[in-house]
Amino acid sequence: MHKSLHRFFILHSRAYRETSAIITAFSLESGKISFVAKGVKSTRNKLRVLTEPFIPMTVELSGNSELKNSYSMDSDGMGMVLSGIHLYCGIYINELLTRVLPSEEPDQALYSAYQQTITRLAKQESPEPILREFEFFLLQQMGYAVEFNVDAESGEDIEEFQRYRYVAETGLIKTKQMDPKHSFAGADLRDISHQNWHVASLLAAKQISRLAFAPLLGAKPLKSRELFQAAPHQ
């Protein structure tokens, strides 16, 4: 039986039978993967405390179906401790990857970006820029990059004193609409492209990110957004 070694972080875990779990993970070697971790929920299993997110892990997997069998699962370093709003952000990122990533398509650059993002959250850096930068990098890696410097319709450079609307899977297009709920200032778009974060650029980036992910997520809402709305900081 062929086994392959994977380095990974847990994105989601759900109970399976009495003591096992079905784990969705983000793997360096294979991208998003799912496997059965037998006996991992047993009180006698030392890995019981390691079935949480943000802990680097290794596992040997076998099987040709989408749901793999696991062997020799173990930790691969110190886990990162997230708390408060930074924990909610980490949960959101994990749910986003679970929902939008295709299965078994490795992306080493995205895996590295994920590690860096979780590390920044653990250091309690300002969360909004962290989320926006990861979201737009994820879109780029999936082939849905948002170009903040170019009008998607005309091909011309974004103009500082013009306004633009975002069309999903197309891009930013010049508009006469002045309502800030439906259009974005060119100056803010240019700041986003340079990761020059301030209140206006962060707000525009958040709105555009939601519009860009909407076709990928479908109608089912993200549970992590409900956590944000219920959190004390809101």
SS3 annotation, 40-68: CCCCCCHHHHHCCCCCCEEEEEECCCCEE
Q: What is the pLDDT of residues 117-150, one digit of tens each?
A: 999 999 999 999 999 999 999 999 999 999 999 9
pLDDT of residue 205: 97
- CATH superfamily of the 84-230 domain: Recombination protein O, C-terminal domain (1.20.1440.120)
Task: Locate all alpha helices (DSSP H) within 101-221, ordered by sequence.
Answer: 108-122, 127-141, 186-193, 199-217
- Mean pLDDT computed over 44-68: 80
Amino acid at 171: G
Answer yes or no: same fold for 4-75 and 84-230.
Answer: no
Q: Where residue 234 falls among pLDDT bands split at 50, 70, 90?
A: very low
Distances (CA, A) of 115 to 28, 93, 118, 124, 206: 10, 11, 5, 14, 21
Domain boundaries along the sequence of the chain? 4-75, 84-230
Contacts of 56 (CB under 8 A, 6+ apart): 7, 8, 9, 75, 76, 77, 78, 79
Pick 68 or 180 by higher pLDDT: 68
- CATH superfamily of the 4-75 domain: Nucleic acid-binding proteins (2.40.50.140)
Q: What is the pLDDT of residues 89-121, one digit of tens each?
A: 999 999 999 999 999 999 999 999 999 999 999
Q: What is the mean pLDDT of the chain?
A: 90
* pTM, two decimal places: 0.91
Burial status of residue 226 (CB atoms within 10 A of its CB: 0-12, 13-18, 19 or more): exposed
Beta bridge partners of 14: 22
- Mean pLDDT computed over 64-87: 87
Task: Give the pairing type, strands 31-37 and 67-75.
Answer: parallel
Contact status, residue 114 vs residue 137, Cβ threshold 8 Å = no
